[in-house]
């Protein structure tokens, strides 16, 4: 083959220069694929790290605990508790079996209409005590939870036995009477 013939013969000098520059570079689809893989791995790492992270506030930890119980998500529920409480719950799950334990978690929140969560002033140093009022259609249950800060978040260390309270006005009862429809009266001539 003579010089100027062959694959590059039909290219201009600029095209040949560009082709020579690209010889050492990967093709554009390969670069896009590599960037997509890197982005996916980074996203999975961030989500996994957040998933294992404890809630940032005691209130968020209490709400997350009830959400996990409602879903029957034993792993999330157990991640939100610590110390002797966690040990006792792990033993309960072992004795009951995972499926029955998850079913039990769901049953604890069956019929819950809402939660009222507030901080109590009587917490030992380094902890936060929370009063949780669990609202059902026919009753309310009150519990005191003790939370500790650990690993940059909050975990529940103690859950006291719930006390039942019958509200004076059952859930869903209208508080105000419905206004009676009054005929509109117009002034004469209007």
Q: What is the pLDDT of residue 122?
A: 84
Give pLDDT tens digits for 102-140: 999 999 999 999 999 999 998 888 899 999 999 998 899
Give pLDDT tens digits for 36-95: 666 655 554 444 444 568 999 999 999 999 999 999 999 999 999 999 999 999 999 999
Does any domain span residue 171? no
- Yes or no: say if 136 and 115 are a contact pair by the CB < 8 Å rule: no
Gyration radius of the chain's alpha carbons = 32
SS3 at position 34: helix
Q: At 166, is the pLDDT very low, low, confident or very high (cuts 50, 70, 90)? A: confident
Does any domain span residue 154? yes
Q: Of 54-63, 159-168, 171-180, where does mean pLDDT reach its minimum?
A: 171-180
Does any domain span residue 8? no
Both structure tokens of 189: 């001539």
Kindly list the distances between the CA atom of residue 116 and the CA atoms of 17, 77, 142, in Å, as whole numbers in the listed order. 71, 19, 9
Both structure tokens of 31: 């670069």
Q: What is the pLDDT of residue 44?
A: 46
Kindly list the distances between the CA atom of residue 184 and the CA atoms of 3, 37, 179, 188, in Å, as whole numbers in the listed order. 101, 69, 14, 12
Residue 123 DSSP one-character state = P
Does any domain span residue 146? yes
Does any domain span residue 22? no
- Say how far residue 152 (Cα) sits from the centre of its chain: 16
Strands (E), 121-174: 127-135, 140-150, 153-159, 163-165
Give pLDDT tens digits for 1-44: 555 555 555 666 656 655 555 565 556 677 666 666 666 555 54
pTM of the entire predicted model: 0.64
Q: What is the pLDDT of residue 180?
A: 67
**Cα distance between residue 115 and residue 67, in whole Å:** 11
Q: What is the pLDDT of residue 31?
A: 65
Domain range for 133 = 51-165
Domain count for the chain:
1
Does any domain span residue 41? no
- Yes or no: say if 81 and 47 are a contact pair by the CB < 8 Å rule: no
Which CATH number goes with the domain that contains 77?
A: 3.10.450.50
Does any domain span residue 94? yes
Non-local CB neighbours of 57 within 8 Å, separated by 6+ positions: 154
């Amino acid at each position: 083959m003579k010089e100027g013939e062959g694959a590059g013969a039909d290219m201009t000098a600029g095209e040949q220069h560009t082709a020579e520059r690209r010889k050492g570079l990967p093709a554009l689809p390969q670069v896009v694929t590599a960037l997509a893989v890197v982005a996916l791995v980074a996203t999975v790492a961030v989500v996994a790290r957040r998933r294992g992270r404890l809630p940032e506030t005691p209130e968020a930890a209490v709400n997350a605990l009830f959400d996990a119980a409602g879903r029957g998500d034993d792993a999330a529920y157990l991640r939100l508790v610590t110390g002797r409480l966690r040990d006792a719950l792990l033993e309960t799950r072992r004795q009951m079996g995972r499926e029955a334990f998850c079913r039990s978690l769901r049953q604890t929140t069956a019929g819950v209409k809402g939660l009222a969560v507030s901080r109590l002033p009587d917490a030992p140093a380094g902890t936060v005590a929370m009063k949780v009022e669990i609202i059902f259609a026919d009753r309310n249950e009150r519990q005191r939870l003790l939370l500790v800060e650990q690993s940059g978040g909050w975990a529940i260390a103690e859950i006291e036995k719930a006390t039942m309270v019958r509200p004076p006005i059952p859930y869903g009862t209208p508080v105000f009477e419905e206004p009676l429809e009054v005929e509109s009266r117009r002034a004469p001539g209007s």
